[in-house]
Structure 1
């Protein structure tokens, strides 16, 4: 009997969880009868009543819900890794707690997995969001496809079903400051892409801030592309060529007009421009150096405060605590 683990990272989702979990339980009727389903709910250090909502869901489905409570907020990708480490299924699916992705799509994903496909991606063909949010998301995925991984689907994705083998490879890599979903594609497994329209969030407010989006963009570019370093080299060579030509111009000007005064404005423009480029170059190189330092520290991606497991309606649950890599 194949077992499907549904991993749901949660962060300030107390209002979403009752609705989302009801939809997930109702969606089980669409699965083949021989498929076993477990839920791995990860609380990413929420400061509201998310944990209480998750424990209530666990009481509604005893024996099938594992609640992983993290000690602090570590970001959605690290929270997903924690969920992957605690999942026991033959295949796993990641879905957000805000119900913007259709749970019914899991049925098609599972069909592909049973045909031998180890990675099935639900990518956003379009999204119901409008305005700046949609424009920035489209720009992000456009740049990533051009600068980092050319084989990623258009529109972006964070709704995937994958085999346990893929899970073990991702956990073995212990990547930090990276893009978890792009990492699955980087592994090289052939994947099937299922387009869908991402729904507008109906409950609660998104915690996916502009600062987090910028960090994700920087992490994704630096993890899967050498374009920033290559850009520094190209601009540096261009500036070097301009400097040589400008040097010949100054020498020629001096030879033809010995009394010609030196241009202070031109000199300051050149100095400021070159200095600005040097600062940008140091910043890009510093990002790579910092990531190397962060990897060398080998600190855990997350710290598990408690793992709540309710074996039956009469049991109070078994709790495990500790830090895990």
Structure 2
């Protein structure tokens, strides 16, 4: 007798209390449609400040498919997703957001593609009308710029929602870095991939946990994780500035020899000093981003800490 294959759905949760009942109902409806695989749901409470954890623990008490991982504090979504992937035991893993913007109804189609031989099944947002104009614009700019400067190409409009075979998950678990940009790591490991299009929905409840500042820092994390182009860019700026300075100095010398000494221009001198001083500060800041990453990696702290696990055994 062949054991039934199992799919793990990994859900990072942070202050998602309002949406937990809808999430549970939606997942149960989808699970009832798929009879050829078993399911487990690994919910990671990332230090929620509301009663998200209590509701998750209640789900685990009544449904043995739900396993709750309680982190010791808020470590961030990337760390919580890593914890869920590490805890999962399925033959395939599906990271999924608790806000239901990614439709769980797509899961059966992803499983069919996986059973058909795909090792990674990407869910691509064909329509992002549910997102604000600013979010769509900045997201497009991020994908275009990142894929220009990095050798690792991130599929456009593809988030964390995807299915990964166990072989892909095992490959991800070999990556030791502590500052984790999961979209980049997913793309880096590769494997046989197919894509399914879908329309992104509005949040079922609650508010987004990503402010504009957090999204900016997330983008910087992506750029510095998979590209050294920013460092090279400032090398080119420095070289161009040195060349321009040499040419301008030659012009000044020639003009002085021909026309004599001009009255110094204090305003232009001040502008030049401020301009090049600002460039130096920016370049030092870019260098600091990389040095900071090296510093944090050398500490070798764990990506997350688990306070407690909540689950019941299958009857």
TM range (shorter): over 0.9
The alignment status of 1:191 with 2:207, answered yes or no, reads no
What SS is found at the alignment partner of 1:172?
coil
- 1:30–1:104: 8 Å Cα contact kept in structure 2? no
Alignment partner, residue 5 of structure 1:
8
The alignment status of 1:16 with 2:19, answered yes or no, reads yes
What SS is found at the alignment partner of 2:104?
coil
| 1:141 positional shift | 2.3
Alignment partner, residue 303 of structure 1:
305
Q: TM-score, normalised by structure 2?
A: 0.94
Deviations 1:262-301 (A, max 9, x none): 2222222221111111111110011001101111100011
| 1:138 positional shift | 2.5
Q: Bigger relative contact order, structure 1 or 2, given CA contacts below 8 A and separation 6+?
A: 2
- Determine the C-alpha separation between the residues in 1 that align with 2:296 and 2:142: 25
Deviates more, 1:206-215 or 1:2-11: 206-215
- Determine the C-alpha separation between the residues in 1 that align with 2:19 and 2:39: 21
- 1:18–1:57: 8 Å Cα contact kept in structure 2? no
- Determine the C-alpha separation between the residues in 2 that align with 1:208 and 1:195: 24
- Determine the C-alpha separation between the residues in 1 that align with 2:146 and 2:230: 12
Deviates more, 1:128-137 or 1:194-203: 128-137
Deviates more, 1:260-269 or 1:157-166: 260-269
Alignment partner, residue 172 of structure 2:
170
- Determine the C-alpha separation between the residues in 2 that align with 1:206 and 1:74: 17
The alignment status of 1:71 with 2:72, answered yes or no, reads yes
- Determine the C-alpha separation between the residues in 1 that align with 2:215 and 2:192: 27
| 1:140 positional shift | 2.1
| 1:312 positional shift | 5.4
What SS is found at the alignment partner of 1:92?
strand
- Determine the C-alpha separation between the residues in 1 that align with 2:148 and 2:198: 22
Q: Structure 2 matches for 1:1-325, cutoff 5 A?
A: 1-31=4-34, 33-62=35-64, 64-127=65-128, 128-148=130-150, 151-311=153-313
Structure 1 residues 147, 126: CA separation in 2 closer, same or farther (over 3 Å shift)? farther
Alignment gaps of 5+ in structure 1: 314-325
- 1:125–1:154: 8 Å Cα contact kept in structure 2? no
- 1:123–1:158: 8 Å Cα contact kept in structure 2? no
- Determine the C-alpha separation between the residues in 2 that align with 1:91 and 1:111: 12
- 1:145–1:151: 8 Å Cα contact kept in structure 2? yes
| 1:149 positional shift | 5.0
Q: TM-score, normalised by structure 1?
A: 0.91
Supply the RMSD in Å over aligned alpha carbons.
1.5
- Determine the C-alpha separation between the residues in 2 that align with 1:312 and 1:188: 34
Deviations 1:162-215 (A, max 9, x none): 011211221221223232122111113231111211111131111111222111
